[in-house]
Chains A and B, each alone.
Chain A
């Protein structure tokens, strides 16, 4: 099954604001909430954003989420070296009846 589409990599410098995009379709992002996860390779995903734009307790407000149509975005402001890892989007797909994930975007903090 096809997943959500993310760019494989992106980069930024400390203090900068960057956005990571996630593209889908009307059956997933277009009609359902989007989550974002942070994952250090070899470890479990950590929930950063749920219900498209809400942060769980403990997640810094440097992280924010939004969506427009069939695309969603994760913004990270005040970039820090510790933000260098993988970011993954997810949404329920009404046609496939699965939770769909993006392939992940690897963020490098230069």
Chain B
């Protein structure tokens, strides 16, 4: 059974770069699209972007496009997220998830999420 696990620093200083990884276990990245989402405490979900397992196709939310990079390392079954120049508004639970075909629909497996706080 495929499982996803996010990991990374729980605290990032303002203006610095947030870096998270999502480890895929029980399966591989192959033939799926992989997305990152975030959810500020007690607020709604926000899609950050996606990448195809081969790394050949990526799409980011226009509101975050200038600051975000999503990458994959298939040899290590890893998905990564980098978000630069963070502010308090980037404080949120960050989730990774997979979908077979990217239509924005049907993300069937999610990681448990990791809370990242932006504070000095």
Q: Quick one: which of A3, A47, A92, A100 contacts B103, CB cutoff 8 A?
A: A92
Contact B46 A101 (CB under 8 A): yes
**Binary interface profile of A, 76-107, with partner B (CB < 8 Å = 1, else 0)?**
00000000000010111100111111111000
Interface size on B, residues (CB 8 A): 23
Residues of B within 8 A of A43 (CB): 112-113
Main secondary structure of the interface of B (DSSP, over half): loop
Known interface pairs A97-B62, A98-B61; A47-B46 also in contact (CB < 8 Å): no
Interface residues of chain A, those whose CB is within 8 Å of chain B, are: 1, 3, 32-35, 41-47, 50-51, 56, 88, 90-93, 96-104
Interface residues of chain B, those whose CB is within 8 Å of chain A, are: 35, 42, 44-47, 59, 61-63, 93, 95, 97, 103-108, 110-113
